[in-house]
Structure formats: structure tokens, C-alpha cells
């Protein structure tokens, strides 16, 4: 098939497609030293294959500690589940200085960027086709899929949510990262999180 250039034709899930009339923001992380929690957050969407069909998963993550603040699953690519994940992260953990995403319509649309502007968060976006610009969340997707999704073959959305909830609890609290000096995301985040300053 390779020699004859034969390939299967079927619709593939696309997670990065700009919104009509979108505004692209510059990438702010190049040469930036990221050395504390809540300095930079990032978000991305991936698809989760199931026994029949697939779901979309969005996560909001702290760049420094790799802690996943919030996540949502949806069977459509609308922006509502992304905005919901963003609002949940902000309500539980405050606001970052910079928020980085790709150029997908869910992140370039007015509903998502309006929340960031309301909270006075600087908006950063990856270059087109530059997955390395958001490498830590790409690594998260690899971990989620190989350590959880591909092993379970979810048969419905309810089971997917329950299993992912358990996985992200494990990921944040018990999964040690070599790049974090064998600490968990929770250890790095809570040990280095900014404390209130005395008056």
C-alpha cells in the first residue's frame, strides 16, 4: 500500500482550526524564564478514541509545575467546554500572568479571550504548526493516552469522565516526573506557590 501510495480515506478529528475573523496573539514564551507556579498556564485540546467514535478533552495546566488545574470532556468541538475549564481553573487557583494556547477556534474565539481579558491575563499563542511552543501539554496528552485511554477503551462518556477523574488525581498527586526532580506536580506547585505577603 505504501509503494502504491494507497491510504484510507476517512474524516480525522482536527483540533486546531482558527475561528472566523480571529485575532492571533504573539507567542510570549520565547526566551522567557519560567521559574514559578502561576507564571504561565496553558491549554490544549486532544481527541480520545473510544470503542465507537471519540470525545474531545481540554485541559488547563500550569507550565512550571505541570499541575492540571481543570479539564473537561465534550462530544463536540464548541468553545463552551473550553471556557468552562478555564473558568473552573481561575475560580480554584486564581489567575496566571500569561496564558498560552494554540490557534484553534475554541481559543481564538471571543468567548475564551474575553475571560482572559476580563482577568487581565496576557494572551500568548503558538506559531502555526509549532507544537513545540506548547510542549508540556503535548507531553501530558502522550501520558494520558498511553497510561490511561489506550488501556481502557472507554465505551461511553460517563465511563470516560470517571476514569479520567481518577487518572488526573493520580497524575497531580502521585505521578512523579523526572523533569521535576522526581516530584509530583502537586509537590512542585504547593511547595513553590506564592504565599501572601505580610502587610
SS3 126: coil
Q: Is residue 105 part of a domain?
A: yes
Task: Domain count for the chain, please give it.
Answer: 1
Q: Using CA atoms, how far apart are residues 99 and 86, in angstroms rounded to an integer? A: 10
153 in any annotated domain? yes
What CATH number is attached to the domain comprising 183?
3.30.420.10
> What distance in Å separates the CA atoms of residue 108 and residue 129, rounded to the nearest whole number?
15
Spatial distance between the Cα atoms of 127 and 66, rounded to a whole number of angstroms: 21
**Confidence at residue 186, expressed as pLDDT on a 0 to 100 scale:** 94
Q: Could you give the C-alpha distances from 94 to 39, 126, 172, 185, in angstroms and in order?
A: 11, 23, 18, 17
Q: Is the dihedral of CA 163, 84, 56, 68 positive or negative?
A: negative
Residue 142 lies in a domain: yes
| Burial label, 180 (beta-carbon count in 10 A; 0-12, 13-18, 19+) | middle
Q: Considering the domain boundaries, does residue 52 fall inside one? A: yes
Tens digits of residue pLDDT in 141-198? 999 999 999 999 899 999 999 999 999 999 999 999 888 889 999 999 998 755 444 4
- The confidence score (pLDDT) of residue 59 equals 97
The pTM of this model reads: 0.82
For 196, what's the count of Cα atoms within 13 Å in the CB-facing half-sphere? 3
C-alpha cell at 76: 463536540
CA 134 to chain centre: 9
In a domain? residue 21: no
Mean pLDDT across the stretch 124-147?
Answer: 81
Per the structure, the complete domain to which residue 154 belongs is given by 40-190
Average pLDDT (89-116) is: 93
Would you say residue 148 lies in a domain?
A: yes
Structure confidence by residue, pLDDT tens digits, 33-85? 999 999 999 999 999 998 888 899 999 999 999 999 999 999 988 899 999 99
Determine, yes or no, domain membership for 22: no
Which residue has cell 526532580? Answer: 181
Amino acid at each position: 500500500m505504501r509503494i502504491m501510495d494507497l491510504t484510507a480515506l476517512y474524516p480525522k478529528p482536527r483540533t486546531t482550526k482558527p475561528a472566523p475573523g480571529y485575532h492571533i496573539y504573539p507567542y510570549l514564551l520565547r526566551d522567557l524564564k519560567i521559574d514559578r507556579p502561576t507564571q504561565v498556564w496553558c491549554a490544549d485540546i486532544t481527541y480520545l478514541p473510544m470503542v465507537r467514535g471519540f470525545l474531545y478533552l481540554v485541559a488547563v495546566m500550569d507550565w512550571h509545575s505541570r499541575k492540571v488545574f481543570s479539564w473537561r470532556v465534550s462530544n463536540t468541538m464548541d468553545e463552551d467546554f473550553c471556557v468552562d475549564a478555564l473558568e473552573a481553573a481561575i475560580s480554584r487557583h486564581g489567575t496566571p500572568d500569561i496564558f498560552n494556547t494554540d490557534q484553534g477556534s475554541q481559543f481564538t474565539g471571543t468567548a475564551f479571550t474575553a475571560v482572559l481579558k476580563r482577568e487581565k491575563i496576557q494572551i500568548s499563542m503558538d506559531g502555526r504548526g509549532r507544537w513545540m511552543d506548547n510542549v508540556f501539554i503535548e507531553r501530558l496528552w502522550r501520558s494520558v493516552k498511553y497510561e490511561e485511554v489506550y488501556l481502557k477503551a472507554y465505551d461511553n462518556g460517563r465511563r470516560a469522565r470517571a476514569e479520567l477523574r481518577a487518572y488526573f488525581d493520580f497524575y497531580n498527586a502521585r505521578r512523579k516526573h523526572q523533569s521535576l526532580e522526581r516530584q509530583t506536580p502537586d509537590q512542585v506547585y504547593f511547595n513553590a506557590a506564592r504565599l501572601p505577603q505580610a502587610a
